[in-house]
Amino acid sequence: MKMNKSLNFGMIALVGLTFACGGGETKTETVAEEVVAAPVKEMSLEEKYQNDPVYIKGLEKVKASDCLSCHMVARKIVGPSYAEVAAKYESTEENINMLAQKVINGGVGTWGEVPMPAHLSLSEEDAKDMVRYVLLLKK
């Protein structure tokens, strides 16, 4: 009987020790790390349209003209910004023809009381190329 009690005590001690030490199992904790995505860099117009022939040709003709004296891409100065024009007009052949004629003949009233001077030396094709470029700048 004595042996039975000491065996029971030894068994209880062994079980207690096993549980206290983790039962021989290795515990691993998984810590979830928060993954923060890098902010998306907004693509510039130059990057977005760098290979677009309409953009390239139109920009070249705008830079060679006096348009940049009164217009900027994103900010109104004397006349509306190109982005404002692009937001107002869909890029349709009808609008391209109408706006090209406004560039050539000038006008007043659509964007306020400051008149846009006529550009009679511009060919219709050059004016259309410039208008197509401007209409690409829709946000």
Three-class DSSP category at 105? helix
- What confidence score (pLDDT) does residue 41 get? 79
7 occurs within a structural domain: no
29 occurs within a structural domain: no
Indicate if the pLDDT at residue 57 is higher than 80: yes
Residue 129 is part of a domain; what is its CATH number? 1.10.760.10
81 occurs within a structural domain: yes
Find the domain containing 90 and state its range.
49-136
Number of domains comprising the chain: 1
pTM exceeds 0.85 for this model: no
19 occurs within a structural domain: no
The residue count for the chain? 139
Distances (CA, A) of 93 to 6, 28, 36, 40, 96: 101, 67, 45, 34, 5
Q: How does pLDDT run across 78-121, given as a tens digit for each residue?
A: 999 999 999 999 999 999 999 999 999 999 999 999 999 999 99
Indicate if the pLDDT at residue 61 is higher than 70: yes
- What confidence score (pLDDT) does residue 136 get? 94
